[in-house]
Amino acid sequence: MVTLVTLASACASSEEHPLPAKLTLGGMAGVSWGARLADIRKAWQVPIHVLHSFSGSNSYAIAALCVEEQHGMLHFTSGHLDEMDFFGGTLTDRGVGIGSTRTQLRQAYGARVELRDTGSNYYEAFRVTSTGARPRKTIDFYLNTSVGRVEMVSYGLRERSTDYPAEGAAGIDC
């Protein structure tokens, strides 16, 4: 079954929940890879609403995150957080994110930034990977080559179970 859910900040002020927050290789505001919806609800103190569900053979869910200026999508596989994609209002703990340039990424992360092949003439992807214990988590920065700025930031595992399309952002209505 595929379920679509949304995380909303209906009438919630920033004093009531920890969002918007900085994204790190360890996750964001107490939530990291593998978290369940209930864990996220508790950590972020943000209500979760089911928008629509589909029956099918795989267990996959999408949550839209719309808290103040922080906009994105959370992807779940088998009930666990697989990836977070952000399209607005998100910076890392090193101060780079949506709107950053290639130079700012390199200044913030140095040699840890690796260029990934996207197969696209319109986007370049840069990845920063955690060190130490496995599973290794990553932050990917998708830079629009025509404007020279990051338009999407993703958090997940080095080897993700699925590649989620950036076009999914069109479904977010914050």
Q: Cα dist. 126→85, 150, 167, 170 in Å?
A: 14, 10, 18, 22
Q: Where are the domains of the chain?
A: 2-158
| CB-based contacts of 43, cutoff 8 Å, min separation 6 | 18, 29, 30, 31, 35
pLDDT tens track for 89-131 = 999 999 999 999 999 999 999 999 999 888 888 999 999 999 8
In total, the chain counts a number of residues equal to 174
Q: Which residues contact 105 (CB under 8 A, 6 or more apart)?
A: 96, 113, 126, 141, 143, 150
| 20 prior amide bond cis, ω within 30 | yes
| Per-residue pLDDT reduced to its tens digit, 69-84 | 888 888 887 788 889 9
Instruction: Count other C-beta atoms under 10 Å from residue 151's C-beta.
Output: 18
Binned at pLDDT 50, 70 and 90, residue 56 comes out as low
Residue bearing the bigger pLDDT, 89 or 159: 89
Q: Are strands 60-67 and 70-77 parallel, antiparallel or unpaired?
A: antiparallel
What phi, psi does 120 have (nearest 5°)?
A: -125, 145
Structure confidence at residue 2 (pLDDT): 47
User: What pTM, to 2 d.p., does this model score?
Assistant: 0.83
